[in-house]
Amino acid sequence: MSYRVDFTLKHDLKKFGIHDWNECFHCGNCTAICPMTKTGSLFPRKDIRLLQMGLKDKLATNLDPWLCYYCGECTETCPRDANPGELMMSLRRYLTSVYDWTGLSKKFYTSHFWEFGFIFFFFCAVIASFLIWLPLSGNTAELINDQGGVMINNLVAGISGASFVNIIEIGDWTMAILVAGLLISNILHMFYRVVIRDKEVKVPVYAYITEFWSLIWQFMTQSKFSKCEGKTYWVGHLLLMTGYSIMFAVIVVLLPEFQIEEVRPWYNWQRLMGYYATFGILFFLVYVTISRIRKSDWKSKFSHPTDWLFIVMLGLTTITGILVHIFRIGGMVSATYYMYVIHLAVLVPMILVEVPFSKWSHLAYRPFAIYFDRLKEYSRKSQNENKLVRAA
Amino acid sequence: MEEIRIGVYVCWCGTNIAKMVDVEAVAKAMREIPGVIVAKDYKYMCSDPGQELIIQDIKEHNLNRVVVSACSPRIHELTFRKALENAGLNPYMFEMANIREHDSWVHTDRAEATQKAKALVAGAINRVRWHESLDKRSVEINPATLIIGGGIAGISAALEIADAGKQVYLVEKQSQLGGTVAKLDLLFPHLDSAQQLIQPKINRAMNHLSIQCFLNAEIREVFGYIGNFEAKVYQKDDLETEIQFGNVIVATGLKPFDPSKIDQLNYKRLPNVITSLELEEKLLSGNLVMDNGKDPKHIALIHCIGSRNKNHHEYCSRTCCNTALKYSNQIRSAFPDAAIYEIYSDIRSFGKGCEELYTHTARQDVMFLMYDQKGEVPKITEARHSEKVNMMLEFREQLSGEHVEVPADLVVLMVAMEAHENAKEIAHAVGVSMCGNSFYIEKHPKLDPVATTTGGVYVVGSCQSPKDIPDSVSQARAAAARIMADINFGSVEVEVTTAVVNEDICCGCQTCISVCPYTAIHFDAEKNVSVVNEILCKGCGTCGSACPTGAIRSRHFTDKQILSQIEGLMSMQLQH
């Protein structure tokens, strides 16, 4: 089967962050130095070649970019300054847009107008919704509880207690289901492109079950990541991931338990979990921001606009969340209300853009890529064995 | 008769000989042979200290014969004859045994190779006993020069010699001068105009008072030897001109490979598959379009067509990579949005400014795809009607390992340079040898790259091997300088190893006249004997072996010398 070369692909990919695509002359140093290279694979050299030749179909069935965690060893070793590490990063951006059937991902990656327009629209929509339908209650003096904190569920005029939590919870679930739906459909699309359309593999049904543990294990521990150089990054990333997972659980599933009127003592387990999550997210954000500004390691040297956007959005969400917490404990009624509105106005577009369409989608693509890769390897192995049996 | 005192010198040639032949054992064995006064081995006999060793021994031991066993006499016989002369001996009292090309390079058993070396050297010793002093002959140099081929090399050499005030006969097969360069548009690596380069030179050559140009002309045979050649120039309408000259420069250039020999390229069957020279025509006319007059959107350049492949030519044609890179730049400036594919097998862009051309081209948005020139060349077929392009190329891309399809509106085949079909005739006419690829062989690949084994005959430019313009011009001017040196000196010493007729024995049967390939013998009816013209005789020995009475003797190749050599060879074999 032959693949058609595509002269235009590399031009299309420039907006995803690929610039020096032609520098590579295929010496293979990157493959030799990469701690992720498996025996017989040409990772990442082969991926650069597919890109140079514009073999679109071959690239779309290719999982390699997700198996790279960007330690930067390849880029450091490259004698041509072809920057294979950043090339793999850019390929992940591209593949995100390939898996996304809605086409929005491509729009967000390649057009500032679309990306910032989308974010700005939802930012304004959240603020407007609050100001119009859920305005601050006029009766601020009655909103202080026994501990001197703000009674957050009574902030909105005319709605009290559980009703307000319900409104937010409905919003949470709607967003969660929407985002999850998009992600799952994109993963099914990825599965179709990567496994079904790849004529060279035939995966036996039981392999789907036997290999499933790798999906869970990788999602929880990112143990493959730990094989790369630089363990700080892996620890930091794990802190971020667990912190974010806790926050997600608390906000979406346990909201009625979380957003309550009384101020709990500091040693309450829910508060401690919240502090851990906040610390985890902040630690990694500060670490990443400093390395990207200083360009201190290879993976931080080249920042695509979407990398910064992600940091800024998550940073703003975290800071506004912390401020809501401080204002509430401090009994500052109006400040709590407005900060709560801003917090949601940042959080909503961040989740809507990042999780299904942009950088954050890797939370699903990476573990699934490892899972699909294991399936393909399983199929290759069993096909080889069959061949050997037939030959014998 | 004087006492025969022979010096024998066995060369190691570094490790070339010494690793396969026990040179010390050879030298030791030779000391046992009667008449051998000294026998020595040395690392490099041809080096200055090596020659000095021979000269000292001749003086010290009063030697009167010398044998050097080393490389081929074609390479160093003259070197050692010179040494003998410097020591006061007649240079013909020397014999060379080739224990490198004939022995160490071609054998794998050290003991047997050593034994063979002993036999070869013993043969040479036996032969040198019967050597006679021969007097060198000095001949006047005719200051005119014949140059065959009016391309960039021929013109450059012609102008160089003519500007020094010496007569040049410039013979060109085509109706105008300029050769391949006159068919080119721009030149790599700086993309300057070929026409601006060649046209002023053509004009100058055509109008030069010291250059006589023969167009539509050919040379069929050259008679004579260095300093005194003569030939006829044949032109249209049976026009014949006789010319005399002292030196010959062969600059017959190249011919492009015919890609219709490779079936799957579909050259000639698909109108938009063209050769590099056909692309030059389009570029020169400023009309880079497809056969339907439309601009091509996808252009593929396929390298190494006919080169570096056992089925065609094993050599690299040397200029096609740079030419293809040049095309990419030209096409890019003509069509800023076109897709350009360089389908190469290795990029060899060496030479001043050429690597820079490659680096520059790689940044011109050109897709480089690697194919295996030793295996299948890309298959070119007509694209399906639904496709937006004209043709489709299919091949295995080497760096990715994938089978790929490349769309193309125009395919340019970077065809190899090859020798002309009539290279053999010209080689025979002027007396130069050809290698397996029909390119002419130079005297020494490194140290004497423009001379040939025939004195006064030089080969320059692409008839010697594929070349770019700077190399062709350098060679042309080098040959011109060599010739000017000879002309300036006025005379040259020539070999005297010709045939001589003993008139007392000759019976006048004229057998020799019928076998001589150089028509160098005529019959003196008055004396009823054959007479050898020493100017035309090349000393091939054919007449000597055919003569029924033994009246013809080839100087330096006498029966006695040859039979003694055989005896010497056999004596060593029997001892083993």
pLDDT score of B57:
96
User: Pick from A3, A7, A26: which is nearest to B402 by CB?
Assistant: A3
Q: For residue B42, tell me if it sits in a domain.
A: yes
The CATH number of the domain holding residue B528 is 3.30.70.20
Which of A3, A22, A58 is facing B405, going by the closest CB pair?
A3
pLDDT tier for residue B11 given thresholds of 50, 70 and 90 = very high
Provide the pLDDT for residue A11.
Answer: 83
Tens digit of each residue's pLDDT (9 = 90 or more) over A82-102: 889 988 999 999 999 999 999
Structure tokens given for B205: 């050559």
Query: Given a cut of 80, is residue A39 above it in pLDDT?
Result: no
Confidence band, pLDDT 50/70/90 cuts, at residue A368: very high
Of B135, B166, B182, the one marking the end of a domain is: B135
Set of chain B residues whose Cβ sits within 8 Å of the Cβ of A58: 402
Query: Please, which residues have CB within 8 angstroms of residue A337's CB and are 6 or more apart in sequence?
Result: A136, A155, A156
Q: How much helix, strand and coil, in percent to the nearest 5, is found in chain A?
A: 70, 0, 25
Distance between CA atoms of residues B147 and B132, nearest Å: 38
Give B93's contacts (C-beta < 8 A, 6+ positions apart).
B64, B65, B66, B84, B128, B131, B133
How many domains does chain B divide into? 4
DSSP string, B394-437: EEE-TTT--EEEEEESEEEEEEPEE--TTHHHHHHHHT--B-TT
By CA distance, what is B297's nearest residue in A?
A: A7
Cα B62 from Cα B373, distance rounded (Å): 61
Of B477, B479, B533, nearest to B228 by C-alpha is B533
Domain match, B409 and B279 both: yes
Dist. CA A351–CA A286, nearest whole Å: 20
- Contact B348/B318 with Cβ under 8 angstroms? yes
Partner residue facing B367 (CB), from A2, A46, A53 = A53
- Measured in degrees and rounded to the nearest 5, phi and psi for residue A199 equal -65, -15
Residues B93, B189 share a domain: no
- Per-residue pLDDT, averaged over A17-23, amounts to 76
Task: Render B265-307 in DSSP notation, one character per residue.
Answer: G-BTTBTTEEEHHHHHHHHHTT----TTSPPPSEEEEEEEESS
Angle at B51 between CA B48 and CA B56, to 5 degrees: 120
Min Cα–Cα distance to chain B from A377, Å: 19
A2, A22, A26: residue with CB nearest B394: A2
Whether chain A has a CB inside 8 Å of the CB on B381: the answer is no
Pairing of strands A3-4, B403-408: parallel
- What span, in angstroms and rounded, lies between the C-alpha atoms of A379 and A207? 9
Position A102, amino acid: T
Give per-residue pLDDT as tens, B141-152.
Answer: 999 999 999 999
- Residue A115 in tokens: 């990306």
Which structure tokens are listed for B450? 């423009």
Q: Does B60 touch chain A (CB under 8 A)?
A: no
Helices (H) and strands (E) in chain A, counts: 18, 1
Instruction: Give the chain A residue whose CA is nearest to the CA of B392.
Output: A4
Same domain, B89 and B189: no
**Where residue A40 falls among pLDDT bands split at 50, 70, 90?**
low
Measured between CA atoms, the residue of chain A closest to residue B402 is A2
Q: Please state the rounded mean pLDDT for residues B463-479.
A: 97
Judged by CB atoms closer than 8 Å, whether chains meet at B406 and A22 is answered as: no
Chains A, B: CB pairs < 8 Å = 49
Report whether pLDDT(B318) > 90: yes
Q: What is the overall mean pLDDT for chain A?
A: 88
Same domain, B116 and B169: no
Q: Is B242 inside any structural domain?
A: yes
- Helix, strand or coil, per DSSP, at residue B555: coil
CA distances from residue B86 to B52, B57, B89, B333 in whole angstroms, order as listed: 10, 12, 7, 64
Q: If you average pLDDT over residues B436-458, what whole number do you get?
A: 91
Instruction: Say if residue B178 is in the same domain as residue B316.
Output: no
In angstroms, the separation between the Cα of residue A86 and the nearest Cα of chain B is 19
B149: left (phi over 0), alpha (psi -120 to 50) or beta: left
Q: Do B367 and A55 touch (CB under 8 A)?
A: no
Q: What local confidence, expressed as pLDDT, does residue B404 receive?
A: 96
Q: Both B250 and B260 in a single domain?
A: no
Answer with the one of B416, B440, B459 that is the final residue of a domain. B416
What are φ and ψ of residue A363, in 5° steps? -60, -30
Classify strands B417-418 and B410-415 as parallel, antiparallel or unpaired.
unpaired
pTM of the model: 0.79
| pLDDT for res A10 | 83
Average pLDDT value over all residues in chain B: 94
pLDDT for B475-498, tens place per residue? Answer: 999 999 999 999 999 998 877 888
CB contacts, 8 Å: B397 with chain A = 53
pLDDT at A147: 81
Greatest alpha-carbon pair distance for chain A in Å reads: 87
Within 8 A of A26 by CB-CB distance, chain B residues are 399
Instruction: Tokens for A369, please give them.
Output: 């890529």
- The predicted-structure confidence for A160-182, as pLDDT tens digits, reads as follows 777 888 899 999 999 999 999 99
- pLDDT exceeds cutoff 60 at B575: no
Q: Would B183 be classed as within a structural domain?
A: yes
B1 located within any domain: no
Q: Which of B416, B431, B448 is the last residue of a domain?
A: B416
Q: Which residues of A touch B405 (CB under 8 A)?
A: 2-5
Say yes or no: B15 and B116 in one domain: yes
Q: What is the DSSP letter of B367?
A: E
List the single residue in A22, A46, A58 with the smallest CB-CB distance to B363: A22
pLDDT in tens, A217-275: 878 887 777 777 677 888 888 899 999 989 988 888 888 888 888 888 888 888 899 99
CA distances, B542 to each of B10, B512, B517 (Å):
32, 8, 8
CATH number, domain containing residue B25: 3.40.50
Q: How many Cα atoms sit within 13 Å of A384 on the Cβ side?
A: 6
User: Rounded to 5 degrees, what are φ and ψ at B238?
Assistant: 55, 25
| Spatial distance between the Cα atoms of A281 and A1, rounded to a whole number of angstroms | 47
- Domain membership of residue B427 (yes or no) is yes
Residue A391 has pLDDT above 80, yes or no: no
Tell me: do B150 and B125 sit in the same domain: no
Q: Are residues B326 and B347 in the same domain?
A: yes
Which of A49, A59, A80 is the mutation pick for testing B, counting most B CBs within 10 A? A49
Close Cβ partners of A63 (under 8 Å, ≥ 6 residues apart): A194, A369, A372, A373, A376
Partner residue opposite B369 with nearest CB, options A22, A53, A58? A53
CB atoms A5 and B394 under 8 Å: no
Is residue B76 in some structural domain? yes
ipTM greater than 0.85: no
Domains of chain A: 9-99 (1.10.1060.10), 104-376 (no CATH)
Cβ of residue B435 closer than 8 Å to a chain A Cβ: no
- Secondary structure class of B466 (helix, strand, coil): coil
What integer pLDDT is reported at residue B573 of this predicted model?
A: 61
Q: Give the other-Cβ count within 10 Å of B240's Cβ.
A: 8
Average pLDDT over residues B73-88: 93
Query: In chain B, whose CA is at the least distance from the CA of A6?
Result: B406
CA–CA gap between residue A369 and residue A225 (Å, rounded) = 13
Strands of B410-415's sheet, edge to edge? Answer: B273-275, B410-415, B298-305, B339-344, B366-370
How far does the CA of residue A297 sit from the closest CA of chain B (Å)? 27
Chain A positions touching B399 (Cβ under 8 A) are 26, 49
Q: Which residue of A lies nearest to B364 if distances are taken between CA atoms?
A: A22
DSSP, collapsed to helix, strand or coil, labels residue A15 as helix
Asked whether residue B52 is domain-assigned, the answer is yes
Which two structure tokens, joined as six digits, stand for A192?
């179709």
Chain A residue at shortest CA distance from B401: A46
CA distances in angstroms from A267 to A144, A271, A278, B57, listed in the order given:
22, 7, 15, 108
Contact state of B367 with A5 under an 8 Å Cβ cutoff: yes
What residues of B are in contact with residue A53 (Cβ under 8 Å)? 367, 369, 397, 400, 402, 404
- Where residue B456 sits, what CATH number does that domain have? 3.50.50.60
CA distance B452 to B456: 8
The SS3 of residue A197 is coil
pLDDT exceeds cutoff 90 at B552: yes
Cis peptide bond N-terminal to B189, omega within 30: yes
Can you tell me whether residue B39 is helix, strand or coil?
strand
What is the DSSP track for B156-206?
Answer: HHHHHHHHTT--EEEE-SSSSS-TTGGG-SEETTTTEEHHHHHHHHHHHHH
Query: Partners of A4 in the beta sheet?
Result: B405
Q: Residues of A at the B interface (Cβ-Cβ below 8 Å)?
A: 1-5, 7-8, 22, 26, 46, 49-50, 52-55, 58
Classify burial at B180, counting beta carbons within 10 Å of its beta carbon; exposed 0-12, middle 13-18, buried 19 or more.
buried
| Residue pLDDT, tens place only, A280-317 | 999 999 999 999 999 888 888 888 888 999 999 999 99
d(CA B131, CA A55): 75
Note whether B404 contacts A2, CB cutoff 8 Å. Answer: yes
3-state DSSP assignment of residue A111: coil
pLDDT at position B70 over 90: yes
Q: Based on the fold, state whether residues B322 and B307 are members of the same structural domain.
A: yes
The verdict on a CB contact (< 8 Å) between B399 and A49 is yes
Cα gap B573→A22, rounded to integer Å? 65
Identify the closest residue of chain A to B396 by CA–CA distance. Answer: A2
| Residue pLDDT, tens place only, B269-314 | 999 999 999 999 999 999 999 999 999 999 999 999 999 999 999 9
Closest residue by Cα to residue A179 from A347, A38, A303:
A347
Rounded Cα–Cα distance for residues B65 and B73 (Å): 16
Q: Is residue B107 helix, strand or coil?
A: coil
Stretch among A316-325, A381-390, B283-292, B418-427 having the lowest mean pLDDT:
A381-390
Q: A-contacting residues of B 326-355, CB under 8 Å?
A: 339, 341
Domain of B124 in residue numbering reads as 6-135
B391 in contact with chain A, both atoms CB, cutoff 8 A: no
Find all residues with CB under 8 Å of B537, minimum gap 6, and list them.
B498, B499, B518, B520, B521
| DSSP assigned state of B509 | -
Contact B400 A55 (CB under 8 A): yes
**DSSP type of residue B259:** G
B559 in a domain, yes or no? no
The reply to whether B178 and B266 lie within a common domain is no
Clarify whether residues B281 and B359 are in a common domain.
Answer: yes
Average pLDDT over residues A38-49: 82
pLDDT at residue A61 in the model:
86
Cα atoms in the 13 Å half-sphere on the side-chain side of B496: 12
